Amino acid sequence: MKKLFVGTIFLVMVSLFSCLCAGEPIRVIVFGAHPDDCDVNAGGTAALFAQMGHKVKFVSLTNGDKGHHQMQPEALAARRKKEMQEAGRHLGIVYENLDNHDGELMATLENRKKVIRMICDWKADIVITHRPNDYHPDHRYASTIVQDAAYMISVPLMVPGGEPLLKAPVFLYMQDSFLKPNPFSPDIVIDITPVVEKKLDAICAHESQVYEWLPWNGGYENDVPADATGKRKLSADHFLWQKMSDRYTEPALKWYSPEQIKSITYFEAFEVCEYGNIPDREKILQLFPMLPR
């Protein structure tokens, strides 16, 4: 355990030094449909970027005002905003949301322009969002909005009040378990084991969701423990990707040795979207300095 801790600290220091020597930090923006989507799917990777001195912003495209069985929309939206700010504090990132109603997100021109501007203003190197096939309409439309922005960020007259990005970012999809019309295809696998507690802190900050709404909606409301330790374990069991299956092991071998993979307990994975910059291996290693060389 001591060797692992020392090794992790050394990796962070080396990566931070490399980042500072290289100049500008890597800039990452993640678009989820709701407050908590980014945390569940990319919170560990965000925490790694942040502790290495890079810049990460999470954006929820809705205010999450419908995700509860007891609270009214206005009060819930205010509560969820506080929760996402607390989650961002745990991860060391910026967290924002747009004021679209939960369950009513549409791929409108107005929303596309907002996303175009946010990507350009952030000067993003990496853009991450949902895949387009998903059970939730807000997830699907969030993906469509970001994909529709992928090329338009380079068109000066389409960027409202800002400068276009002539250097195309890498666009990535977050992982999911949906199979039709096509399953998630992991191109990048990230070991988040060293920062899993930070990710879990962020997830647990969304109390209205992980302890109230989702258990009620999922039929396990009576299984939610009363104590904080039990609640934290419930969140880990439901929201962390653990123990790599064969589906993820082969892609992980592109980045980690077989021996390193044995020590990966928690991970996140991403699929390259064809609409942005298609990175080769060296570019991915540059953009994800937490990957071993």
**Complete DSSP assignment for 197-214:** HHHHHHHHH-HIIIIIIH
pLDDT digits over 174-201, tens only? 999 999 999 999 999 999 999 999 999 9
Sign of the CA dihedral running 232, 235, 267, 241:
positive
At 52, list the tokens.
């290495």
User: CA-to-CA distance for 63 and 185, rounded, in angstroms?
Assistant: 29
Model confidence at 2: pLDDT above 60: no
Give which of 41, 52, 4 is closest to 288, Cα–Cα.
52
Whether the pLDDT of residue 107 is over 90: the answer is yes
pLDDT given for residue 242 in this prediction: 76
Q: What is the mean pLDDT of the chain?
A: 92
Query: If pLDDT is split at 50, 70 and 90, which confidence band does 97 have?
Result: very high
pLDDT tens, position by position, 223-242: 999 999 999 999 999 999 87
Measured CA to CA in angstroms, residue 212 lies from 61, 139, 152, 207 at distances of 22, 21, 39, 7
Q: Is 80 exceeded by the pLDDT of residue 13?
A: no
Please give the pLDDT value at position 130.
Answer: 98
When pLDDT is averaged across residues 255-277 and rounded to a whole number, the result is 95
Looking at the DSSP bridge assignments, the partners of residue 32 are 60
Averaged pLDDT, 151-165: 89
User: With bands split at pLDDT 50, 70 and 90, how would you rate the model's confidence at 163?
Assistant: confident
- Higher-pLDDT residue of 233, 17: 233
The answer to whether the CB of 251 falls within 8 A of the CB of 90 is no
- What per-residue confidence (pLDDT) applies to 223? 94
Confidence of residue 247 (pLDDT cuts 50, 70, 90): confident
- Least trusted range by pLDDT, from 70-74, 114-118, 160-164, 206-210: 160-164
Q: Are strands 267-272 and 170-174 parallel, antiparallel or unpaired?
A: antiparallel
Domains (range + CATH), the chain: 17-287 (3.40.50.10320)
| Mean pLDDT across 53-77 | 98
pTM exceeds 0.95, yes or no:
no
pLDDT of the residue at 20: 41
Q: pLDDT band at 49, cuts 50/70/90? A: very high
Q: What does the pLDDT read at residue 22?
A: 53
The CA-based angle 54-57-63, given to 5 degrees, is: 165
What share of the chain in percent tops pLDDT 70?
92
Q: What's the half-sphere exposure (Cβ side, CA atoms, 13 Å) at 260?
A: 18
Alpha helices in the chain (DSSP H): 2-22, 37-51, 73-91, 109-122, 137-152, 196-205, 207, 214-218, 228-239, 246-252, 258-262, 281-287
Rounded to 5°, the CA angle 89-94-97 comes to: 110
Burial of 286 (0-12, 13-18, 19+ CB in 10 A): middle
The answer to whether 92 and 51 are in contact (CB under 8 A) is: yes
Please check the confidence at residue 46 and state whether its pLDDT lies above 60: yes
Whether residue 10 has pLDDT greater than 90: no
Query: What is the spatial distance between Cα 248 and Cα 259, in angstroms, rounded to a whole number?
Result: 15
**Rounded average pLDDT over 49-72:** 98
Handedness of CA 16, 18, 19, 20 (dihedral sign): positive
Q: What is the per-residue pLDDT for 246? A: 82
- The pLDDT tens digits of the residues spanning 68-77 come to 999 999 999 9
Band (pLDDT 50/70/90 cuts) for residue 15 is: very low
